[in-house]
Homo-oligomer: A and B are copies of this chain.
């Protein structure tokens, strides 16, 4: 199983390029029309390829969706990491930065957000591959908690995967519920449920993030 990448042949390089084009075009279509409208045929068409040709690169429509889901998670995770890193050291500020990153990413890429945190795509079942990428988001959000806990903590308990050592069940639940509340707020705004109720969303959101930081003892 030695997948030697040494000696990159022209054909292999071309393949990588086409694969990247496919991903890019799929993302573009997802961003424009949403997951439901995404089709292998239109991706192939846009790439100037005959519709069946795309099967040399992608096993099925579901396979392409999986790639999109994973890259959405990775992209969001990276955005949070970046936002958090710029204010590293001050837990409460980190939390606010992370939360704001989620919100602004969601507004920048509403269809991608909908794909991963909205209604499941009918008929699609996420393969195991996606959970790692999904985890990156939570790990990024947990950065302020890690900072607050200090560098000497040995991860343990139900949140060990996030680099946390929390044993008290109520505390675990508080953390989880806070994350869910964050996504609840983002989803409500993005999906238009706050129209006419909240006028200054920025203000509302930052205010709530601060309250959350307090609840998390940051």
Complex contact B119–A119 (CB within 8 A): yes
B-chain residues with CB within 8 Å of residue A129 when the two chains form the complex: none
Q: How many residues of A contact B (CB 8 A)?
A: 37
What separation, in Å, do the CA atoms of A183 and B118 have in the docked complex? Answer: 12
Q: How many copies does the complex hold?
A: 2
Using known A-B contacts A177-B181, A188-B183, A208-B177, determine if residue A119 contacts B118 with beta carbons closer than 8 Å.
yes
Measured between beta carbons, the chain B residues less than 8 angstroms from A33 are 122
Q: Which residues of B have CB within 8 Å of A170?
A: 207
**A176 interfacial contact with B, CB 8 Å:** yes
Q: With A120-B114, A120-B192 given, is the CB distance from A180 to B184 under 8 Å?
A: yes
B37 close to A122 (CB less than 8 A): yes
Q: Which residues of A contact B (CB under 8 A)?
A: 33-34, 36-37, 114-115, 117-120, 122, 126, 134, 158, 170, 173-174, 176-177, 180-185, 187-188, 191-194, 197-198, 204, 207-208, 211
Apart from A180-B181, A181-B181, list 4 A-B contacts with CB within 8 A: A117-B193, A120-B191, A126-B192, A173-B207
